[in-house]
Amino acid sequence: MARPVESLVPGSRRTGWQVCAGRGDLAAIPWDRLDEYAGAELVKQNPVRQVWRVQADTEVWFAKRFTDFGIAHAIRRILRGAPEKKEWQVSEYAERHGVPCVRFAGLLKPEGGRGRARAVLVSPEVPNVVSLADAWRGCHTAGGPALRKRTGDRLAELVVRLMADGHARRFLHRDTHPHNILIRQDEDGVPLQAIFADVQKARIGRRITDADAAANLAELAHWFVYWTTATERMRFLRAYLALRHGWDAGHARSFKARPVRRRFLRRIEAAFGAQVVDLYMKRDRRIFGTNRYFARADLGRGWHGTFTLRFRWRGQRPASSQPDRSLAEWGAWVRREFPHLECEARCDDAAARLGLVLLREKAPTLWRQGVWTLFKCPNRTSFGMFHRERHRDLPAPVPVALFERRRFGLIVESVLLLEAGET
């Protein structure tokens, strides 16, 4: 990392920030008070990081503001190293070795080590870029078949070259999904270049084995298995292997290359399965528990509710318009908006007024009530399935809340609330 800047620009000390590396004039922006800054807009956030878009004079910056979420996270940061330093070092490595990657203009920390934010990592806005997810969806939903195929082939070519060249230069991203790859376009929307973003987890300077490369490609597969055909994915694999092994296009399709393709495909499938299990352990299994993202509550009169406290990816399509709420706020919201969950007409009117879709299911027989209680009612299954799809960055309805009514311990009725909107 570059040496710390010794002196701040005149008048910038009042903001309480010092530049550890990069441009000294960045200290003039009050990074811990961006919510009060006229040119700042919050783009996304999670418990440990916020991303802001900041307009300062004639320049536009993207700032990652890091915080610690509890003592356990602070201890992990001390043991493993600060993520903002890792990302800065990875970006410097990428620049030295010619790997297209988001560049950073400054790394700042608060003076005295105190404040709401622990560090800020600032990068300049890259003009005319969209995420790979948006670019791929756009090229497959607009224009004629010939244009869609041409644009899709061009996108695949850029991504294949980005990943193959990165692996050849000992750069392994390790969090490769379509929102972490940016596509730079010209004024007409023609793809020009693929760029890595969010490189905090990247591994640098070590040889990339076939197992490493297969696991990296499997990370993309979680999204592309939904948006692409098997033929397109096989064409992508052949193009990657051709670059990795120095083959020409004909040899990559030949019978001689078949054993290599099959071995590599088996590695991708194994890595994909392991990542599915890991995703379940990290995200899926918490859907019906009580944690930062979900909670359950007894609502009285036999009703029990499962609520989505917060949506981790606000920009995901379709985007959620519901604010983050605590369990107490959800309880007050239900008492105010749905005081009579048993009354279908009142609930339908309230849902329509709030812009929500209400799905109601009733168990007409004792047998059906027993099945719903022992296994899952349809609305409960849908609530979990939609969240699992959104965990995999797939377009799915936004599940807001699930209500279940029990009688003598058996589920007799359920109500699912979804945000209205196209998927």
Using CA atoms, how far apart are residues 8 and 23, in angstroms rounded to an integer? 10
Cα 361 to chain center, whole Å? Answer: 32
Query: For tokens 């988001």, what's the residue?
Result: 102
169 residue type, one letter: R
325, 307 Cβ separation under 8 angstroms: yes
Q: Which two structure tokens, joined as six digits, stand for 94? A: 């990428």
Cα 319 to chain center, whole Å? Answer: 12
Q: Which two structure tokens, joined as six digits, stand for 200? A: 């905090």
Give the angle subtended at the CA of 114 by the CAs of 108 and 120, to the nearest 5°.
25
CA 156, 160, 161, 165: dihedral to nearest 10 degrees? Answer: 160
Using CA atoms, how far apart are residues 345 and 300, in angstroms rounded to an integer? 20
Question: Which residues have a Cβ under 8 Å from the Cβ of 270 and sit 6 or more positions away?
Answer: 214
Identify the CA nearest to 135 among candidates 146, 151, 149, 124.
151
Which residue stretches of 323-415 are H helix? 327-337, 344-354, 366-374, 378-391
Q: Which two structure tokens, joined as six digits, stand for 290? A: 């009580």
Q: How far is CA 140 from CA 121, 152, 220, in A?
A: 34, 7, 17
Q: For every one of its 423 residues, what pLDDT tens digit does the chain have, with 9 covering 90 and above?
A: 444 433 333 334 446 788 888 888 888 888 888 888 888 888 887 778 889 999 988 889 999 998 877 787 778 777 888 888 999 999 999 999 999 999 999 998 887 655 567 889 999 998 889 999 888 888 877 667 777 788 888 999 999 999 999 999 999 999 998 889 999 998 878 899 999 999 989 999 999 999 999 999 999 988 888 888 888 899 999 999 999 999 988 888 888 999 999 999 999 999 999 988 888 888 888 899 888 889 999 998 899 999 999 876 665 666 677 888 999 999 999 999 998 898 999 999 999 999 899 999 999 899 999 999 998 899 999 999 999 888 877 778 889 999 999 999 999 999 999 987 654
Using CA atoms, how far apart are residues 180 and 161, in angstroms rounded to an integer? 15
Using CA atoms, how far apart are residues 213 and 326, in angstroms rounded to an integer? 41
Q: Which two structure tokens, joined as six digits, stand for 108? A: 């700042």
| Domains of the chain with bracketed CATH | 13-124 (3.30.200), 129-282 (1.10.510.10), 285-419 (no CATH)
Task: Say what the pLDDT of residue 5 is.
Answer: 37
350, 360 Cβ separation under 8 angstroms: no
Task: Say what the pLDDT of residue 146 is.
Answer: 78
**Adjacent-strand bridge partners of 191:** 185
Task: Say what the pLDDT of residue 7 is.
Answer: 39
CA 346, 351, 353, 354: dihedral to nearest 10 degrees? Answer: 140
Q: What is the pTM of this model?
A: 0.80
